[in-house]
Amino acid sequence: MSLFLFLLNLPFTLTGVVPVILSGPYSFKLNKNPIALIFKVKSFWWAFGYFRYARAMTVGHIILMGPKELKNDLEHEIIHVKQCERYPVIFPLLYLYELLTKGVRQNRFEKEAYTLSKSVYRPIKQS
């Protein structure tokens, strides 16, 4: 089931290769459940808008962990991968809708990720 969901989300996940290349990946780890490709990266120098405050990012089943990682950030990103499995294919649209109507912290996907992972919301420019 997990592999099936991974394949359904593959087109969206592949767009995550671009930020991985831009951010200077230096380590890789495969998470099995949910399937997640975890890259540690040097910098989100290219980021704009609210992405400037990101310590980590998730695109489909790709997770990017930046240099300023805080406690439970990886757990937070894993929850976004699970959300992507829960709403295969349409998750990016649902997330975008939530983001545009409720903002970063109050959208339901971030609320769930912060609550379940106990990660820290701290919007400080990262570089």
Q: Answer for the pair 40, 55: CB distance below 8 angstroms, yes or no.
A: no
Shortest reach from residue 87's CB to Zn ion, in Å? 15
The contact mask relative to Zn ion for 92-121 (x = CB under 5 A, - = no) is ------------------x--x--------
Distance of CA 59 to the CA centre of its chain: 5
Shortest reach from residue 114's CB to Zn ion, in Å? 7
CB closer to Zn ion out of 22 and 54: 54
CB closer to Zn ion out of 4 and 71: 71
Q: Rule CB under 5 A: is residue 64 a binding residue for Zn ion?
A: no
Say how many residues make up the chain: 127
Q: Rule CB under 5 A: is residue 37 a binding residue for Zn ion?
A: no
b/e string for 88-122 if b means 16 or more Cβ within 10 A? eeebeebbeebeeeeeeeebebbeebbeebebeee
End-to-end CA distance of the chain: 39
CB closer to Zn ion out of 22 and 114: 114
CB closer to Zn ion out of 3 and 48: 48
Q: Answer for the pair 47, 68: CB distance below 8 angstroms, yes or no.
A: no
Q: Rule CB under 5 A: is residue 79 a binding residue for Zn ion?
A: no
Q: Rule CB under 5 A: is residue 38 a binding residue for Zn ion?
A: no
Residues that bind Zn ion (CB under 5 A): 110, 113
